[in-house]
């Protein structure tokens, strides 16, 4: 995993079905902001659910600066969660920790992420060390533990 584009491709391929929203061209970007990075479906043991995500990537294991999430992106994910409470609305943080150590953190409490962002309380490195993460193996996120936990990380 080398960049955010590759992370989004990995997320898309890791879902049962996924679609990455194309990045806008220069002229298109003046007229409309992309709502978030992508959407898809995750087949879970208990239920099938739609997934909407915004992804951020870092080449180093460091603090997750929540100001990198644009206000309209988090607003759109919050609106979807309000309309579809059983959907997964994720903020995904992908990190290249080492040569063959790529990790993904899935933050699925979109309202709590919004609160932290508004309070300017970034997710510190020492917090990340204590949160569950999902390894990337063969260009796929190993979501087994997420699915087995009923979609709660």
pLDDT at site 93: 98
Per-residue confidence (pLDDT) for residue 23, from 0 to 100: 78
Kindly report the CATH number assigned to the domain that includes residue 113.
Answer: 3.40.1350.10
Q: How many CB atoms lie within 10 A of CB 51?
A: 23
Domain of residue 143 covers 4-148
Q: How many domains does the chain have?
A: 1
Per-residue pLDDT of the chain (153 residues; tens, 9 = 90+): 999 999 999 999 999 999 999 877 666 555 677 899 999 999 876 678 999 999 999 999 999 999 999 999 999 999 999 999 999 999 999 999 998 999 999 999 999 999 999 999 999 999 999 999 999 999 999 988 787 666 655
Beta strands in the chain (DSSP E): 17-20, 38-43, 48-58, 88-98, 101-107, 134-137, 140-141
pLDDT number for residue 145: 77
Q: Which residues pair with 11 in a beta bridge?
A: none
Q: What is the pLDDT of residue 150?
A: 61
| Residue 84 within any structural domain of the chain | yes
**53 lies in a domain?**
yes
Task: Residue 65: count other Cβ atoms within 10 Å of its Cβ.
Answer: 14
Encode burial over 89-103: b for 16+ CB neighbours within 10 A, e otherwise. bbbbbbbbeeeeebb
Residue (of 61, 54, 58, 71) closest to 3 by Cα position:
58
Residue 153 falls inside a structural domain: no
Tell me, what's the pLDDT at 25? 67
Q: What pLDDT score was predicted for residue 146? A: 80
69 domain residue, yes or no? yes
**pTM for the whole thing?**
0.91
pLDDT of residue 46: 67
């Amino acid at each position: 995993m080398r960049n955010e584009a590759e992370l989004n491709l990995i997320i898309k391929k890791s879902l049962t079905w996924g679609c990455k929203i194309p990045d806008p061209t220069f002229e298109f970007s003046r007229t409309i902001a992309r709502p978030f990075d992508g959407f898809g479906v995750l087949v879970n043991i208990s239920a099938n659910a739609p997934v909407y995500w915004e992804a951020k990537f870092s080449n180093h294991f460091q603090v997750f600066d929540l100001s990198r999430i644009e206000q309209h992106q988090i607003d759109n994910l919050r609106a979807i969660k309000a309309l579809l409470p059983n959907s997964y609305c994720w903020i995904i943080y992908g990190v290249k920790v080492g040569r063959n150590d790529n990790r993904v953190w899935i933050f699925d409490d979109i309202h709590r992420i919004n609160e932290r962002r508004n309070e300017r309380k970034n997710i510190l490195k020492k917090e990340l060390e204590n949160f569950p993460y999902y390894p990337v193996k063969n260009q796929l996120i190993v979501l087994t533990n997420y699915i087995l936990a009923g979609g709660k990380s």
